Amino acid sequence: MELVFATHNLNKVIEVQDMLTSGIQLIGLDQLGFNEDIAENGLDLKSNAQIKATHIYGLFGKNCFADDTGLEVDALNGLPGVYSARFAGEQKSDTDNIKFLLEKMKSKSNRRAQFRAVICLVYKGDTIFFEGAIEGEITHEPIGNDGFGYDSVFKPKGFDITFAQMDSYLKNQISHRYIAFKKLVTYLNGLKVI
Ligand code: IMP
């Protein structure tokens, strides 16, 4: 069975394909010949994942899933959340977003936060959600050079280092994304599709 992963990121497609043991062939948006960006105008991660998955399912009639991820900070009432990629503005960089976040966190003693990933699968017309989260805290300054996004200001619970100081293999074993995809893959591997 072919299953569309509604992303333009081929690395993500390969990563999930490698986790699948059943007869499922993943197809990314570029392989599908769909080169546009789908407007992510939902108010939460779940809505954005669903918007992307249902858009592609509606256009191509193919089973499909999509993901959306964000950093949720308690002291900021869950922000940046769905706005994580553009917290400091539409054209801003990861560095700008981190600077903006740390400025907002300046006077906050509660530093608790979590990364959360939501996946929406539209399979034979049914909609199913999978979720992964990792708790941690926001540091007072960026620490570490690896990773991307907010990695340098996120220290996962139980660790004394930020995601940006962590070996990428270890990060990928504990991340919100990995937890969510593991749940999706467990579900897909259980489908009788061959
Ligand atoms: P996306 O939904 O995967 O595109 O993620 C949205 C935004 O959340 C990204 O632009 C990053 O700023 C942030 N983000 C998502 N996952 C991570 C992560 O694992 N580390 C750091 N930042 C992340």
What is the Cα–Cα distance from 64 to 58, expressed in whole angstroms?
Answer: 10
Average model confidence (pLDDT) for the chain? 94
The pLDDT value recorded for residue 193 is: 60
Enter the pTM of the model.
0.93
Kindly state the tokens that stand for 94. Answer: 């990861």
Ligand 1 centre distance from Cα of residue 93 (Å) = 12
Whether the CB of 70 sits within 6 Å of ligand 1: yes
Distances (CA, A) of 2 to 15, 89, 119: 16, 37, 18
pLDDT in tens, 50-63: 999 999 999 999 99
Which amino acids are annotated catalytic? Answer: 68
Whether the CB of 114 sits within 6 Å of ligand 1: no
Whether the CB of 175 sits within 6 Å of ligand 1: yes
When mean pLDDT is compared across 18-32, 71-85, 104-118, 133-147, the lowest value belongs to 18-32
- Indicate the fold that domain 2-189 takes in CATH: Maf protein (3.90.950)
Q: Which among 16, 84, 93 is the best mutation to test ligand 1's pocket, defined by most ligand atoms within 8 Å of the CB?
A: 84
Atom of ligand 1 nearest to the CA of 94: 12
Do 187 and 127 meet the contact criterion of CB atoms below 8 Å apart? no
Do 114 and 156 meet the contact criterion of CB atoms below 8 Å apart? no
pLDDT of 98 higher than 90: yes
Give the closest residue to 150 by CA, choosing from 99, 108, 94. 94
Residues 6+ apart with CB under 8 A from 138: 73, 101, 102, 105, 111, 113, 153, 154, 155
